[in-house]
Structure 1
Amino acid sequence: MKKNAAVLALLAGVSAMAHAQSEVTLFGVIDVAARHTKNGDESQTSLVSSGEQKSRIGLRGTEDLGGGLKAGFWLESGLNADTGTTADSSRFWGRRSTVSLLGNFGEIRLGRDNTPTYNGYASYDVFNASGVGDATKFVTRLGTNADTLERADNQVSYFLPGNLNGVYGQLSAAPGEGTAGKKYYGGRIGYANGPLDVSASYGQTTVSPLAGSTTDKYKFGSLGASYDFKLVKLSGYVSQAKFADDKLNIANLGVSVPLGRGSARLSYTYVDASGHTPSGINVDKNDASQVAVGYVYDLSKRTSLYTTASYINNKNEASYVVDSNPALPSPNYGKSSTGYEVGIRHSF
């Protein structure tokens, strides 16, 4: 804790001492909510972090090297704003730790970062992949030790330049460095112009083979899109996680409507499990669905109040929950999970 406090204390000082030729920014989000969840017959009320957006603090900067080149860095730590602890107990800069070289050729980025496959679907979730309405919670490792569902260590990434008439893309590779579940490669290609944004992504992670399987590849692909009609914005994605014969298909559709000083949001997610696990268990009927509704009221450009409610209908042996609260057990197979929250978010 002393080390974490010292690092945070240094952030403001480093930002203030930035030279004129460099741009250094201290940024963050503090998000806290009162939440009530019920899994099956068990319920709990608690104060939690990251109801509308993930709480975080970071430092980012660029330096003009001349000749059209820039160097950049980005350090970002996840926070449990309700307790003051870091969201990742094993590392401080758990959300991102990268250094980049940027130019007319695009960007070469090195370090820990989101994977292109995660960005390929999470960026289309109207609930910002946060809180009880989060639509990304259904993506699982399918019993493997894949450690790249959101981020990957030691990534080497290339990003297309931003002057390709709306076309954007990313290719990434991460060596496992001898650790199973961390070796990853993937990519994303998309088009964003005006109200339209559409992309496709695919990636593979090398994992430890499971008993009964003949493969060591965890595969994930998605298609996502959004379109802003001004009066309403539609967004969603379809994705598939696959290991051997075990597949998890997810379809999500979200709606965001400007309303008063904020926006109303509605999301529906359907989860379709199919095939067999390596041990031979049939998962064809372990499906689930989630309906989430919420409203964000903007007090200013940086501060908002919000409320969200969510309901998950589990079928057969599915046991998904709206909130992975370790103090609240998962529901028995086939039981529902519900949750609602009211919170405040401030960004800087």
Structure 2
Amino acid sequence: MKKSLLVLAALGAFAGAASAQSSVTLFGIVDVNARYTKNGDLKVKSLSTDGLNSSRLGFRGVEDLGGGLKAGFWLETSFGADSGSGGTTSGNSTNSTNRFWHRRSTVSLLGNFGEIRAGRELTATYTGFADYDVMGTNGVGDVGHFNNPTTVGATLVDTATRADNMVSYYTPALGGLYARASVAAGEGTTGKKHIAGRIGYAAGPLDVSGSYGTTEANATEDKYKKGNIGASYDFGVVKVLGFVSQAKFLDAKQNVIDVGVSVPVGPSTFRVGYVRVDAKGTIGATNIDANDANQFAIGYQYDLSKRTALYSTYAQIKNKGAAAFTVATPPAAVAGQKSQGFEAGIRHSF
């Protein structure tokens, strides 16, 4: 009897130790706003979502395997908080059709060597500019409005934001240096075979990085190419950030310059951003040199707590030539016309 009790006690202690070595976290964001959008002469008033952050729901966990080795997973989906719809493509949740965990679904091994991560997640060429956008790549002031391969004729590319079937290696902390290399399998589908990398330095108030990637964009395996150089510096009273980016496919290219400042004042944060878009070359027989645009955005955030914030943003895009960028849709885009929008909302994270 005593032996049985000892065995049960030992098993209970072992189970307790095993469970203490792993953890699972439920997390999410709910973001809803009232929005007014005007594209050309078309106007829409709406209750929308994802003005400050993309609404999402996710699970992540880590298991300690011992010897400095850990296993991890991350499952994350998005939803339209304004309507309760699942699998929304608003915000920066692109190429999400027929995927449930379309924001991220990865499994990882972590150790002193860094991290090996497999599955679906953001690409290095996306984070290489998004990390330096003062508006946070969300809402009417999102610089992601200009991250569309179709503007240079690469209509089949499916890796502008995230990539499926990707394996990435992340270096450990190396005195401020960091790097990532990624390969995504095309699996016989045009627009999905992707190779990219990013290298940077982050220490104290400074963060600077460069990233570059290619995607096979058509049946003849011509490459869609994207490169970025970005930097930010936090002076305390003001943070300055920005990037330069180029997307290229065949004879067309698009250059983007983004600069912004963020000023914290107590629980408030003021943001101002400017984006310049310059198109060059041809798509087939069509010259796109005139298809330029400028975006100006100003935003305000008031933190009610660490998890809850009120916000408002105004943004305006001036399109030239046949450019048809919008701060939001609906209404439909109008080529060569101004697009502007205002939103005010609340964001809660958990």
TM-score normalised by structure 1 residue count: 0.91
SS state at 1:93 partner: coil
Q: Which residue of 2 aligns with 1:346?
A: 348
Structure-to-structure mapping, 1:1-348, within 5 angstroms: 19-86=19-86, 87=88, 88-141=96-149, 142-144=152-154, 145-162=156-173, 164-209=174-219, 216-277=222-283, 279-323=284-328, 325=329, 327-331=330-334, 333-348=335-350
Q: Which residue of 2 aligns with 1:10?
A: none
SS state at 2:145 partner: helix
Does the CA contact (< 8 Å) of 2:318 and 2:338 recur in 1?
yes
Residue deviations 1:114-167 (CA, integer Å, cap 9, x gap): 1111010011111111000101211221222000000000101000012x1110
> Distance in 2 between the 1:26 and 1:89 partners?
24
> Distance in 2 between the 1:306 and 1:50 partners?
11
User: Counterpart amino acid of 1:159?
Assistant: Y
Residues 36-45 or 21-30, more deviating: 21-30
> Distance in 2 between the 1:256 and 1:63 partners?
37
SS state at 1:182 partner: coil
> Distance in 2 between the 1:91 and 1:175 partners?
17
Residues 226-235 or 138-147, more deviating: 138-147
After superposition, the Cα gap between the structure-2 partners of 1:225 and 1:171, relative to the gap in structure 1 and judged at 3 Å, is: same
SS state at 1:92 partner: coil
Does the CA contact (< 8 Å) of 1:112 and 1:154 recur in 2?
yes
> Distance in 2 between the 1:240 and 1:294 partners?
26
Does the CA contact (< 8 Å) of 1:215 and 1:244 recur in 2?
no
Q: What is the deviation of 1:20?
A: 2.1
- Pairwise CA RMSD: 1.2
Q: What is the deviation of 1:273?
A: 0.2
Q: What is the deviation of 1:262?
A: 1.5
Matched-pair identity in %:
57
Provide structure 2 residue ranges, at least 5 long, that are not aligned to the other structure: 1-17, 89-95
Provide structure 1 residue ranges, at least 5 long, that are not aligned to the other structure: 1-17
Q: What is the deviation of 1:215?
A: 6.0
> Distance in 2 between the 1:79 and 1:166 partners?
35
Does the CA contact (< 8 Å) of 2:134 and 2:262 recur in 1?
yes
The structure with the largest alpha-carbon Rg is 2
- Which runs of at least 4 in structure 1 moved beyond 3 Å after TM superposition? none
Does the CA contact (< 8 Å) of 2:21 and 2:64 recur in 1?
yes
Number of equivalent positions: 322
User: Counterpart amino acid of 1:28?
Assistant: G
